[in-house]
Homo-oligomer: A and B are copies of this chain.
Amino acid sequence: MTHPMIADLEARYTTKKYDASKIISEQDLAILLEAIRLSPSSINSQPWKFIVIESEQAKERLHTTFANKFQFNQKHIKTASHTILFAYNPEYTREDYEKVVDADVANGRIAKDNRDSAFGAFAFVGLNTDEQGRNANWTKAQTYIALGNAMHAAARLGIDSTPMEGVDKQMISQEFAQELQGYECELALSVGYHLPADDYNASLPKSRLPLADVVTRI
């Protein structure tokens, strides 16, 4: 199948070795971050924060969080151009949704007189909240939408990427407590440009199960 989009998605792969000398241009990074900001989420909840690790100091801090586990991902932190932490709000509340609703009232999506009824969609959050007020499974899942969107966006920009569930949630929570403001992070995306000589995954064939194994048309 030949289509520019399929070509992008076939060319995308998980980079295993970055060229530390190559940095994403400010223009491309801004486009990538804007694409991430535009990610859809259930009831437009946007229960996320994206912490972009770009300074040497921030990279050093993130590097230290691999002290106990997932060391196979540690090498990307100082060699990739940037690493984006995908963090979710573990206790999304009506007050959080109020920010979205009020922005909608301000931009005209919601008429001022309909503000109260706009909270009807918040019932969805209730369905996903436990007795302790946690809805982390639900908010975390939303960050995977952003991740899917971000990986497609990076591919389209010719930016290499490495998605990582292999990050240390506890150590990141401690090290980046100030930036996370109570949000939790179990997912990150390194982005940059690969080092052809050492990136063994770049030349391997694309591997996906056959269409018939995963798609059923009825």
Q: A residues touching B (Cβ–Cβ < 8 Å)?
A: 1, 3, 5-6, 9-10, 12, 14, 30-31, 33-40, 42, 44, 46, 48-55, 57-58, 99-100, 103-104, 107-109, 124, 137, 140-142, 144-153, 156-157, 163, 165-166, 179, 204-209, 211, 213-218
Contact = CB atoms under 8 A, between A and B. Distances in A.
Shortest beta-carbon contacts, A-B, top 4: A148-B148, A144-B144, A145-B148, A148-B149
Contacts of A44: 207-208
Contact of A58 (B34, B124, B218): B218
A207 to B, nearest CB: 5
A33 B215 contact: yes
Identical subunits present: 2
A148 B144 contact: yes
A1 B153 CA distance: 15
Contacts of A166: 124
28 contacts: A1-B31, A5-B153, A6-B35, A6-B38, A9-B35, A9-B149, A12-B40, A36-B215, A37-B208, A37-B215, A44-B207, A46-B209, A48-B214, A49-B216, A52-B215, A54-B218, A55-B218, A58-B218, A100-B207, A103-B207, A137-B137, A142-B144, A144-B148, A145-B145, A147-B148, A148-B149, A152-B152, A152-B153
A49 B214 contact: yes
A30 B1 contact: yes
Contact of A141 (B52, B141, B205): B141
Contacts of A50: 214-216
Contacts of A218: 51-55, 57-58, 179
B204 A109 contact: yes
Q: Which of A5, A204, A205, A218 has the most CB of B within 10 A?
A: A218
A26 B161 CA distance: 31
Q: Which of A10, A31, A140 has the most CB of B within 10 A?
A: A31
